[in-house]
Amino acid sequence: MTETTVARPRTTSSQQWRRVCRLDDLETGWGEAAMVDGAQVALFRLADAGVYAVSHRDPATGSHVMARGITGSKTVASGERVTVASPLHKQVYDIETGECFTSPALHLQTFPTQVVDGYVEVALEVAVEVEVRAAA
């Protein structure tokens, strides 16, 4: 007879898409702050038709101000990168990867986005407990 016992739970993460707003609610070139499942997120709709989401929290100061950041671009070895600069101390971040070009020790959290039926959705990482079963 095989007996199954439950070992200690393991935590993993998975992305869950959350509908945030209508695409038309975002003005091109400006950031908007949104609360998504308890996380403060800054959304940007840019002229390239891209919608980007980053943490609203400024990594350098801890202030929730990134939706007021200044968008732009920077040419790097791999090509042109879309950027957002902190409105406080002007650290410049890659809006897709969160890499800080001006202070390499800093990193801005980024979130995947998609537009479905005219609505902006943001994917947040959600911790999930998984039971690990072992045969005895």
Q: Which domains does the chain have, with CATH numbers?
A: 4-135 (2.102.10.10)
Residue 76 has pLDDT above 70, yes or no: yes
Among 132, 116, 124, 120, which residue's Cα sits nearest to residue 14? 124
Residue 134 has pLDDT above 90, yes or no: no
pLDDT in tens, 24-75: 999 999 999 999 999 999 999 998 778 999 999 999 999 999 999 999 999 9
Phi/psi at 27 (5° precision): -85, 130
CA distances from 111 to 8, 40, 52, 114 (A): 30, 11, 8, 10
Question: Looking at residue 78, what is its pLDDT?
Answer: 83
Using CA atoms in the order 75, 88, 123, 32, what is the torsion angle rounded to 10 degrees? -100
Among 95, 58, 55, 105, which residue's Cα sits nearest to residue 73? 95
pLDDT in tens, 107-133: 999 999 999 999 999 998 865 554 555
Q: Which residue has the higher pLDDT, 61 or 136?
A: 61
